[in-house]
A and B are shown apart, each in its own frame.
Chain A
Amino acid sequence: MEGYAGRIGRVNLSNRSCSIEPLNYEDARLFYGGRGLGAKMLFDELQPGVDPLSPGNKIILMTGPLTGTPVTAANRYVIITKSPQTGLFLDSYAGGWFGPELKFAGFDALVIEGVSPHPVYLLVEDNRLSIRPAGHLWGKRAYETETAIKKELGDEDTRVAVIGPAGENLANLAIVQNDYFHQAGRGGAGAVFGSKRLKGIAVKGTGGIKINNPARLVAYLAGPVENKFSGTGGGLLGSVADRMKYGTPFTLNITNAIGILPTRNFFYGQYDRAEEINAEAFRRKVVVADKSCYACSMACTKFSRARTGPYKGAEVGGPEYETNALFGANIDNPSLEAIVYLNRLCDDLGLDTVGAGNVVGFTMECYARGLITSNDLGFTLNFGDVAAVAELLEMMAYRKGLGDILAQGVRTAARYFGQNSETFAMHIKGLEYPAYRPGPVSPGFGLAYAIAERGACHRRAWPALAEQQLPPFSTAGRAQLVKMLYDQRIPWHCGVNCDIGVQVPGLGFAEAAEMYSAVTGREVTPADMQLLADRVATICRCFNLREGATRKDDTLAPRSFMPEEIGPGKGKSLSKDMLDTMLDEYYALRGWDREGVPTGETLVKLSLDAVAEKMAQLGFKPARGINQGIKGEEYRGAQINGR
């Protein structure tokens, strides 16, 4: 099959061995690549119950058969690992140029195991892997590190992914950052890098990617796909023109109108100063230029600069909607210039802006309620105080003072603070809510969050706009909608393509099937895409079940069940019964039982026989309690003390 590089690089940092394995094409036929193939490899290779920060965890960095090809937005890679934040399945994606470059260098995937005795970075060059010392880079911030590696290798065109201080210090909120402005942000992939003392990965490739039928692919891109771009688009994520102009921050206009924009730690769903940080304000005040990732026509990376105020001169690729909402409305900060500055700071420190924004909002609420004081922090932390937020982020990345606790995420912080703070700790399975607030006006988002295997996640299904067509304040049709939206993304998560780049123009199963066929030469149909989606959703579920997650974990933070104070849903609430109803329906649609365990027939139907066997050995019962990161403390302690 064309499209694939045909090789997987395997690196064991414990004994410094590098090897190259052929891609398993049988698995590639079933799971395609990216999230699907990565999930299969993680399920097969990881010992159940392994601590995410121990040498036994692996970093599976996947591309897909479409990555690096001309297919729309096929620019991503995905890090598949066991998340230190949730103890469950993690797939964390990033765009830019790193993924395509890995293909050009001759690899579909990298598997990184063990732990290095001292800091290193990995160099991938045209079918060669080498481990290089990174002692001189350890401690450096992310932007500086990337520049230093490029300089050291003497090639500006090298694509580099790195971690910042947060990753080195094993913060659960740590990201992997590549090509300066692109981050695999969620779930703590950066901490897994840090636990292996892997500062980064540099990739240079001069090879090409073979396309089975270039004429067919180019004609399809220039014809039907182009029509989707020039038409009104898919409509489910807003119009193509709006997304091109405003990027993801256009979402803020939508969420504020619907009443799901997190404000003051998710207490409200609308922000009274939203017009100061909405899409139009964003474009007017800070956007300098439209930038793209590889092979993308959306150009949603808006390069921004603070032009006025105390943060004048701060520049960043972004900020994205999530950052605008969580470092804006959620901490009651109406300054886009300050958001640009905080975004750049988070990137540099190696912190996830989504998780960090959520944690900061939570900490501010704790401060407002008197659960913590300026004595605990060393400074005051009122809502909207940007300077204090910057201080707090530094403390988190370097694990100083209270930052040591906060860096582990809002679940750990709530446990530490106690006093009922868990009722307003906005997380699911340990992963912080992104910037959508499930509630009576959006029960579907509640379901989408609850069933996401990596914890609270908006990138499994995005029902924000589509749900508005369904009966309000009801569960009607939500399960079907969420499953449909979830499934539609899977071919692209296996591609690996960017959600925005393909979902905004409304590219679905038909387009995915046609482009897969043209690239790989293996004819697949939209029905095959549906099968792939069910298969991938189910194997990810099996991984989580094996790690001890149950139906009980498919829930929302307590605040999401409270009645609305303001907005379109005022006085109404999303009840636990409603969530249960939606979960029942969703599991049934998936062919899972009432506890969310895939039935034997479902596994066999999806050609997951080997998975069924392993699950049967475990009695289809949770093997152990959900990993709470408690064992992780031993490794954290040992690593930090050992340096």
Chain B
Amino acid sequence: MVRKLMVDSSICTGCQYCEIICSLHHSKAGEVNPKKARIKIVSDILHGKDKPVVCRQCQQPVCLAACKFKAIYIDTKLGIALVDTARCTGCGTCVESCPFGAMFFDPVENVALKCDLCGGEPQCVRFCRTFPHTGYPALAYVEPRQWATRKQGTVRPGEPYHDTD
């Protein structure tokens, strides 16, 4: 079974370490720039809500189907869609097509930005903090089945955790 990034928005603190580390990892110039990350925290600071938006690594990628320039292809090693930046024209069609809003765009380089799972070792997951009182990080690189088990289990032992809207 394919492993992918799974998200628990209810315990995301909005620290942006995922975006920070993602942008640095993928930067050839050694730059931190969260706006070039392939993961995005959508924040509603005023109401205390943060939602990490991650690529779902679809089995039949909508972005791939949408690309008219064959710039998106299936990588054989991980079995996920990747962007061939040499072919990418920066038209943005894939960004518009993604039903999850998880395809991003680099306006400076004029290319689409897609999560490549860092070749199988997602750096965002590495830096997503597990808090002792919640017991889980907001991001994990797991099989969806494992995630489902976690959701049904004793997610946050001990402490009641309020997110009651």
Partner-B contacts on A (CB < 8 A): 2, 68-70, 97, 104, 143, 147, 179-181, 206-214, 218, 221-222, 229, 240-241, 244-245, 283-284, 287-297, 299, 303, 315, 317
Residue of B nearest to A146 (CB): B46
A241-B133, A289-B10 known; 13 new pairs, CB 8 Å cut-off, are A181-B45, A206-B107, A208-B23, A244-B131, A244-B133, A289-B48, A292-B14, A294-B15, A295-B17, A296-B15, A303-B48, A317-B45, A317-B48
Chain B residues with Cβ below 8 Å from A221 are 127
Minimum CB–CB distance for B125 against chain A, Å: 12
A290 near B13: Cβ-Cβ < 8 Å: yes
Distance, CA A207 to CA B29, complexed state (A): 12
A244 near B50: Cβ-Cβ < 8 Å: no
Residue of B nearest to A245 (CB): B133
Minimum CB–CB distance for A236 against chain B, Å: 19
> Beyond A287-B162, A290-B131, is A218–B30 a contact (Cβ under 8 Å)?
no
Chain B 134-165 interface 0/1 with A at a Cβ cutoff of 8 Å (1 = within): 10000000000000000000000001101110
A208 near B29: Cβ-Cβ < 8 Å: yes
Chain A residues with Cβ below 8 Å from B48 are 288-289, 291, 303, 315, 317
> Beyond A290-B131, A296-B15, A299-B15, is A211–B24 a contact (Cβ under 8 Å)?
yes
Chain B 23-35 interface 0/1 with A at a Cβ cutoff of 8 Å (1 = within): 1110101111111
Minimum CB–CB distance for B53 against chain A, Å: 13
Chain A residues with Cβ below 8 Å from B46 are 143, 147, 180
Minimum CB–CB distance for B57 against chain A, Å: 24
Distance, CA A91 to CA B84, complexed state (A): 48
> Beyond A70-B32, A181-B45, A209-B32, is A288–B15 a contact (Cβ under 8 Å)?
no
Distance, CA A299 to CA B17, complexed state (A): 12
Q: Which of B11, B31, B123 has the most CB atoms of chain A within a 10 A radius of its CB?
A: B31
Decide yes or no whether B108 CB sits under 8 A from chain A: yes
B33 near A209: Cβ-Cβ < 8 Å: yes
Distance, CA A206 to CA B162, complexed state (A): 35
Minimum CB–CB distance for B11 against chain A, Å: 7
Could you list some 24 contacts between A and B, CB below 8 A? Answer: A69-B32, A70-B21, A143-B46, A179-B45, A180-B46, A208-B31, A208-B32, A209-B31, A209-B33, A210-B31, A211-B32, A214-B30, A218-B123, A221-B127, A222-B127, A245-B133, A288-B48, A288-B162, A289-B48, A290-B13, A291-B13, A291-B14, A292-B15, A303-B48
Chain A residues with Cβ below 8 Å from B119 are none
B33 near A208: Cβ-Cβ < 8 Å: yes
Distance, CA A92 to CA B32, complexed state (A): 26
A297 near B15: Cβ-Cβ < 8 Å: yes
A210 near B127: Cβ-Cβ < 8 Å: no
Partner-A contacts on B (CB < 8 A): 10-11, 13-17, 20-21, 23-25, 27, 29-36, 45-50, 107-108, 123, 126-127, 129, 131-134, 159-160, 162-164
Chain A residues with Cβ below 8 Å from B49 are 289
Minimum CB–CB distance for B94 against chain A, Å: 20
Distance, CA A297 to CA B16, complexed state (A): 10
B131 near A245: Cβ-Cβ < 8 Å: yes
Minimum CB–CB distance for A163 against chain B, Å: 18
Distance, CA A554 to CA B162, complexed state (A): 45
Residue of A nearest to B32 (CB): A209
Minimum CB–CB distance for B163 against chain A, Å: 6
B13 near A292: Cβ-Cβ < 8 Å: yes
B133 near A218: Cβ-Cβ < 8 Å: no
Chain B residues with Cβ below 8 Å from A210 are 29-31
Chain B residues with Cβ below 8 Å from A299 are 13, 15, 129, 131
Top 8 closest A-B pairs, CB basis? A208-B31, A303-B48, A208-B33, A292-B15, A292-B13, A299-B13, A241-B132, A245-B133
Minimum CB–CB distance for B77 against chain A, Å: 23
Chain A residues with Cβ below 8 Å from B160 are 284
Interchain CB contact (< 8 A) of A295 among B10, B16, B107, B132? B16
B50 near A291: Cβ-Cβ < 8 Å: yes
> Beyond A179-B45, A244-B131, A290-B131, is A208–B15 a contact (Cβ under 8 Å)?
no
Distance, CA A284 to CA B27, complexed state (A): 43
Chain B residues with Cβ below 8 Å from A181 are 45
Chain B residues with Cβ below 8 Å from A290 are 11, 13, 131, 134
Residue of B nearest to A215 (CB): B30
Chain A residues with Cβ below 8 Å from B163 are 288-289
